[in-house]
Amino acid sequence: MVFLEMCGRFTLKSPARTKFDGVNRSNLPPLFPRYNIAPSQSVLTIVQRGAEREAAFLQWGLIPSWSKEAKGFINARSETLEEKPSFSESFRERRCLIVADGFYEWDQRSARSKQPYYFQMKDESPFTFASIWDQWHGNKMSITSCAIITTIANDLLAPIHGRMPVLLDQESQDTWLNGDSKLAALKSLLTPFPASKMKSHAVSYDVNYPKIDDERLVRRVEANIGVTPSLF
């Protein structure tokens, strides 16, 4: 898996609050709270297939269909979506939404200690990441995978990190999934989400370890700048 500069963990701790209006979820298995969703894992997405929207699990880490190896990208920069061969066709033809209700980011201000922080909506409601997907065939297997699109940080994230995932509201979700949307309209969505609608707090370094997945990860802690943890 190829790790880019941000958004390497997120949550869907309250799946019961997720809205699926107009989305076919007939093939969706039961949803359970997840507190440490990590690259290469399956993530809940909404994909437009013709006239129908479908809820499905895809692998987090987009593998371009033409790739010789099953190596994926977890993030795609909004500024270069049209230019990068790994993302350009998916941006035009295969857009999706990844469902979440929070994400983690690590403080980049210190070379020694990278304190993790948790970001969410002020009302802690679910939201979606603007994302793209592709399907890869090789080694007698087929993998449908996705990547989260990132943009410059808003005022809430900027003190911690220079980038953030693109978050979409309901109206923007419709535009993003619509196959008839013009590129100019799509690119206009790739902006920082309003900081005034979000909140954040420091959390435990335990989020660095994907095998730890419980509600303790999102609890508020005092920021500690005297520890040198590993991120992944």
Catalytic (active-site) positions: 7, 105
Structure tokens at 80: 């270069």
Structure tokens at 195: 């900081």
Q: Are 94 and 133 in contact (CB under 8 A)?
A: yes
**116 exposure class (CB count in 10 Å sphere: 0-12, 13-18, 19+):** buried
Which residues are bridge partners to 12 per DSSP?
34
Considering only CA atoms, which of 177, 144, 176 is closest in space to residue 52? 177
Parallel, antiparallel, or unpaired: how do β-strands 23-24 and 141-152 relate?
unpaired
What 3-state class would DSSP assign to 217?
helix
| Cβ neighbours for 230, distance < 8 A, ≥ 6 positions apart | 208
**128 exposure class (CB count in 10 Å sphere: 0-12, 13-18, 19+):** buried
